[in-house]
Each structure stands twice: as structure tokens, then as C-alpha cells.
């Protein structure tokens, strides 16, 4: 038994792309029309007592559908893990699927990366998949964050190719700066620490005092502690535990003021909610990686991870592999510098194999200024894939607005991505055609993250 999908729009440089949203819907339709569907509940547990649940249907436990059942639920679990997070996954209604997933998500399984990251690395306890005898209820939390403009504030945004910093006095930006750095594969965490302190010092010199500091950075942060961050990929596991986990706490002691460091996607979403004066915002930053963040319909942040670089968006069997996690068809291969470089080969632009991804992006952007057809095809391809992925996100998130930024979004190429994505929604997903796209101006794209990050902490807390 197979599930076939036929997208109305095919990405020209990536024609084998199988949109996750279409495959999932085709599978559920097949399950429901079989007359033997079963209702199941997927539950994700986090150490603070929160529980996220996802009800769905699967086919009967029969030979013809077993492989499809496991594939469908495994891809949903993978999405939910990086969307919401959890050290334990429970499956109610399909024990055989839970048992299969416990082997897949294990130290020796295909999802060894996720097993390690969701267990000891992020949540500090062993990861497990278990059979549930009863379906649990959701227990979510939400918190207010950001929007504070009083006092003298520093905001920083740490990217893979540069770090940005801003000084803000009573809501007025008095200084912004962008410094090139190369943190990805630096082995000595002191490189990162000194770079961050240098940017903070420069911003502090532009104000009479420092009242609060807010930071934006890629990765998973819990109580200002990095638990999973691509910026520190070159640091050994031992040095990460010794010197990185408490790095921002140590930096805070230098200034002795309120300080909050948040995932850069969350800051993106906050920026969107503030600028649009609306809620239900997902922020997507296409840069060195794919950063995601979410402000819910109440205007609050959740305790979810929203690490959208790792979520599966393409279900084809030979989808490109993420070089970090080893998984296939994940967002990082489509919606950031890596995606541009991958498509540059398909467009036959002739870049040297050893040309760094940031340089390839710059070259593609320069070609776009000259209306190069290959560069335009790259952006159209990203846009079509993104349109299907936005619909995929909307099947999981309550969405009214999408804020789109990051280096890949700059210039005419970013406009093409948005145009193509909106065409996909109009053609295939009328229920989502009213999702509002927002692209900040170029100044905000480059420094807005740092400015909004400055608003994260409340004074006196």
C-alpha cells in the first residue's frame, strides 16, 4: 500500500518534493475511508508538568498498513518534539506503534540524535516512548514576555555569521552595530564569551547606564541556559557543560541587571505581534539555520521549543539529509543558507564545492540583482516549498500572521518567496489563504531582532 500526492504547484528545481501536509492528509483520508481506522492520542511530557496532546487516526493493525502507520506517526512525533518538546512520548490506542517508536527513538535507533537531544541534552533525563493505557488531557502554560521599553537597555542577536547589538533608551534606539564573527566551529567557548561581552561593552558606552539586557540567539534556552545551540557546535560536550550552559548567567553578573536570553524565533514572533498589533503569530527566520517562534492567540509565549530547522517538511524517500541530525527532509535543508546552496547546484550556478554557505547566498543575491534566471528559480523553488510548509505549520499552530525575515529573505528574492508561498495557499489551502504575511523593512531585518530583544526583561525582576 502506498500514499501518493500530487501537488498543484511543483518546485521547479526540486520536483521530487513531497509536501508533508499533503502526505499527512492523504494518509488520514485513506485511514478514515478504510472503515477500520483507529483513534489514537500522542502525548508529550515536559519536566515542568506540562503535557501536549495530539489526537489523530491511524489504519488498522494489519500487514498492509503497518509500515504506513509507523511512518505517519513517527513523522508527526518528530514534528511535535521539535515544535513543543518533551522528554517522554506516550501513545494511546496503538501499542504496537509505541513499541516501534521506542526502538526508532533510542540510543541505537534511526532517531538517535533526537533521543539524545530530547533526553539528557535539553531536559536532563532519559528520553522514552511509552504505551499509554488512558488518553491524557493537555496541560499547557503561557507567559507574557517582552514589550518593555523603559530605561537604558541593551539588546543583542547572535547569528551564525554576525552578532548584532543595540542600545535603546526609553524606547529610542541610540546605537546599532553588526560585527562579523565565525562561532559555528570554534572549539574554545571563550571566543563566544568575549565576542558577546565586546558587543555589550560597545552598546553600554552609548548610554548613561545599563538597566536591562535582552538577548536573541538560535537554539534551545531554558532559564537563560543554552541546552541546544548551533552557535556552539564546535565546543566539546564537556566544555559545553562546563563553560557554555552557564555562560549567560556569568555575563549577567558582569552588569548585575535583569537579563533574559530567548530563542531568536521567539523574538521574531514577538516583533511580529508588536509591529502588527495582532496575535497568532509565527515568526520564521531564514538565515544560517531556520529559526521559529510563536506568539499564541492570547499574545503570549509558551514553553514550546519551536525549533523548526529539525521538523520534517518533505516526505520523499530520498529527501536531502540534515548533516547534523542525519534525518531526511527537514526544514534546514530548504529554508536557510544550506537550502540556497543545495539549490544553487540544481540551478547549475557553478559555485566551487568548498565555497562557504554565507558566500554562496551573497553570490545568489548578487545574481538576483541582475535578474539572473538561475537565481530567480532558486527563490521560486524555496517559495513553493515554503507555501506547502506554511500550510503544514498551520495544521499544528493556530495562525493568523506570519513574520518572515533572515538573510535569505532580503531583497527581491525574499519577495519572490512570499509571492510563491501565497500562490500555494490560494491554490491548495483556501482555509489558510487569509494568513497574513509580513516582511519587515531592511533595517528591521538587520537590527530589529536586537532592538526587540532589548525589550524582553522587565525592570526590577
Q: CA separation (Å) from 194 to 98, 164, 199, 372, 374?
A: 46, 14, 9, 41, 41
What fold, for 267-449? Answer: Nucleotidyltransferase; domain 5 (3.30.420)
pLDDT of residue 445: 53
pLDDT interval class at 261 (50, 70, 90): very high
> Using CA atoms, how far apart are residues 429 and 278, in angstroms rounded to an integer?
22
Q: How far from chain centre, in Å, is Cα 252?
A: 26
Mean pLDDT of 204-217: 95
Sorted by where each begins, the domain ranges of the chain are 34-140, 152-264, 267-449
CB 403 within 8 A of CB 282: yes
Mean of the per-residue pLDDT values of the chain: 92
pLDDT of residue 439: 76
pLDDT interval class at 402 (50, 70, 90): very high
Q: How far from chain centre, in Å, is Cα 187?
A: 24
Q: CA separation (Å) from 122 to 46, 169, 243, 372?
A: 10, 35, 16, 43
CB 11 within 8 A of CB 388: no
296-331 pLDDT, tens per residue? 998 888 889 999 999 999 999 999 999 889 999 999
> Using CA atoms, how far apart are residues 425 and 433, in angstroms rounded to an integer?
5
pLDDT of residue 442: 54
* DSSP string over 311-371: SB-B--TTPPBPTTT--BSBGGGTSSHHHHHHHHHHTT----TT--HHHHHHHHHHHHHTT
Backbone angles phi, psi at 357, to 5 degrees: -55, -45
pTM above 0.75, yes or no: yes
* Helices (runs of H) and strands (runs of E) counted in the chain: 14, 17
Q: Strand 212-217 relative to strand 152-158: parallel, antiparallel, unpaired?
A: parallel
Q: CA separation (Å) from 314 to 10, 40, 75, 387, 414?
A: 13, 24, 10, 12, 21
Could you tell me which of 259, 246, 407, 276 has the C-alpha nearest to residue 336?
407
Judged against a pLDDT cut of 60, whether residue 461 lies above it is answered with: no
pLDDT of residue 292: 87
Domains 152-264 and 267-449 share a fold: yes
Cα dihedral: 332, 336, 341, 344 (round 10): 110
31-43 pLDDT, tens per residue? 999 989 999 999 9
* pLDDT over 90 percentage in the chain: 75
Backbone angles phi, psi at 219, to 5 degrees: 125, -175
Lowest average pLDDT, out of 14-28, 377-391, 404-418, goes to 404-418
Cα dihedral: 321, 327, 329, 333 (round 10): -50
Please give the angle made by the CA atoms of 348, 349 and 351, to the nearest 5 degrees. 115
DSSP bridge partners of 403: 283, 438
Look up the CATH number of domain 152-264. 3.30.420.40
Could you tell me which of 85, 98, 96 has the C-alpha nearest to residue 42?
98
> Using CA atoms, how far apart are residues 311 and 368, in angstroms rounded to an integer?
29
pLDDT of residue 425: 97
82-129 pLDDT, tens per residue? 999 999 999 999 999 999 999 999 999 999 999 999 999 899 899 999
pLDDT of residue 441: 59
Amino acid at each position: 500500500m502506498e500514499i501518493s500526492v500530487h501537488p498543484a504547484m511543483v518546485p521547479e528545481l526540486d520536483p521530487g518534493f513531497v509536501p508533508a501536509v499533503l502526505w499527512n492528509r492523504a494518509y488520514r483520508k485513506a485511514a478514515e475511508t478504510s472503515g477500520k481506522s483507529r483513534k489514537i492520542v500522542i502525548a508529550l511530557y515536559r519536566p515542568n508538568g506540562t503535557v501536549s496532546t495530539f489526537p489523530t487516526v491511524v489504519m488498522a493493525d494489519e500487514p498492509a498498513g503497518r509500515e504506513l502507520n509507523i511512518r505517519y506517526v513517527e513523522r508527526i512525533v518528530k514534528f511535535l518534539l521539535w515544535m513543543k518538546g518533551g522528554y517522554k512520548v506516550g501513545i494511546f490506542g496503538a501499542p504496537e506503534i509505541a513499541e516501534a517508536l521506542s526502538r526508532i527513538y533510542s540510543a541505537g535507533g534511526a532517531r538517535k540524535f533526537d533521543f539524545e537531544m530530547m533526553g539528557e541534552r535539553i531536559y536532563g533525563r532519559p528520553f522514552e516512548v511509552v504505551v499509554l493505557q488512558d488518553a491524557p488531557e493537555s496541560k499547557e502554560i503561557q507567559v507574557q514576555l517582552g514589550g518593555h521599553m523603559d530605561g537604558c537597555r541593551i539588546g543583542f542577536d547572535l547569528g551564525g555569521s554576525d552578532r548584532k547589538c543595540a542600545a535603546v533608551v526609553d524606547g529610542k534606539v541610540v546605537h546599532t552595530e553588526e560585527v562579523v564573527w565565525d562561532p559555528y566551529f570554534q572549539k574554545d567557548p571563550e571566543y563566544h564569551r568575549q565576542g558577546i561581552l565586546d558587543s555589550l561593552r560597545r552598546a553600554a558606552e552609548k548610554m548613561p547606564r545599563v538597566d536591562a539586557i535582552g538577548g536573541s540567539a538560535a537554539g534551545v534556552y531554558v532559564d537563560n541556559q543554552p541546552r541546544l545551540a548551533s552557535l556552539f557546535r564546535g565546543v566539546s560536550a564537556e566544555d559545553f557543560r562546563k563553560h557554555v550552559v552557564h555562560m549567560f548567567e556569568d555575563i549577567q553578573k558582569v552588569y548585575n541587571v535583569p537579563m533574559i536570553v530567548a530563542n531568536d524565533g521567539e523574538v521574531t514572533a514577538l516583533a511580529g505581534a508588536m509591529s502588527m498589533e495582532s496575535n497568532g503569530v509565527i515568526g520564521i527566520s531564514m538565515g544560517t539555520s531556520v529559526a521559529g517562534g510563536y506568539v499564541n492567540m492570547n499574545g503570549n509565549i509558551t514553553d514550546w521549543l519551536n525549533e523548526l530547522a529539525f521538523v520534517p517538511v518533505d516526505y520523499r524517500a530520498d529527501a536531502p539529509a540534515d548533516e547534523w541530525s542525519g534525518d531526511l527532509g527537514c526544514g534546514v535543508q530548504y529554508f536557510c543558507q544550506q537550502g540556497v546552496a543545495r539549490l544553487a547546484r540544481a540551478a547549475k550556478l557553478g559555485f566551487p564545492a568548498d565555497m562557504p554557505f554565507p558566500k554562496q547566498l551573497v553570490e545568489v543575491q548578487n545574481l538576483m540583482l541582475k535578474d539572473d534566471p538561475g537565481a530567480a528559480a532558486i527563490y521560486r523553488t524555496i517559495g513553493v516549498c515554503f507555501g506547502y510548509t506554511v500550510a503544514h505549520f498551520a495544521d499544528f499552530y493556530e495562525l493568523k500572521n506570519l513574520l518572515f525575515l533572515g538573510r535569505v529573505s532580503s531583497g527581491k528574492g525574499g519577495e519572490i518567496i512570499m509571492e510563491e508561498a501565497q500562490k500555494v495557499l490560494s491554490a491548495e489551502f483556501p482555509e489558510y489563504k487569509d494568513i497574513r504575511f509580513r516582511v519587515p523593512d531592511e533595517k528591521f531585518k538587520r537590527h530589529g531582532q536586537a532592538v526587540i530583544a532589548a525589550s524582553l526583561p522587565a525592570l526590577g525582576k
